[in-house]
């Protein structure tokens, strides 16, 4: 069953709008609870990780090449390299691994 890409875009736009608009309209005062503040601080990082990690492992036809790029990105990020350096070197490692594995 084929569905329209425009339906996906409309749903994505509505969800994105609601996520940004509802807190502004429902919460009028400053949040003083330390637990809720810390929870809200880490939500963007957790969401990004949940969306990115599966895509990293399934981006190539070979899971070993994906894993090599992921490990490279982790090591470089741990060494506090810039995001551009991490992305470029991780992509280069994936490309080299794909060439070496013959896929």
pLDDT for position 20: 86
Q: Give exposure, 12-38, as e/b (b: 16+ Cβ within 10 Å).
A: eeeeeeeeeeeeeeeeeeeeeeeeeee
Report field, pTM of the whole predicted structure over 0.75: no
Binning pLDDT at 50, 70 and 90, where does residue 1 land? low
Over residues 57-80, the pLDDT tens digits come to 888 888 899 999 999 999 999 999
Average pLDDT over residues 12-33: 87
């Amino acid at each position: 069953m084929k569905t329209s890409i425009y339906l996906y875009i409309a749903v994505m736009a509505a969800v994105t709008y609601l996520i940004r608009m509802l807190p502004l309209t429902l919460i009028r005062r400053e949040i003083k609870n330390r637990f809720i503040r810390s929870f809200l601080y880490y939500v963007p990082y957790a969401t990004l990780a949940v969306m990115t990690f599966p895509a990293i492992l399934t981006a190539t036809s070979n899971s070993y090449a994906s894993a090599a790029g992921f490990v490279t990105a982790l090591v470089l990020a741990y060494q506090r390299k810039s995001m551009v350096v991490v992305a470029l070197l991780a992509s280069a490692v994936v490309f080299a691994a794909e060439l070496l594995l013959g896929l």
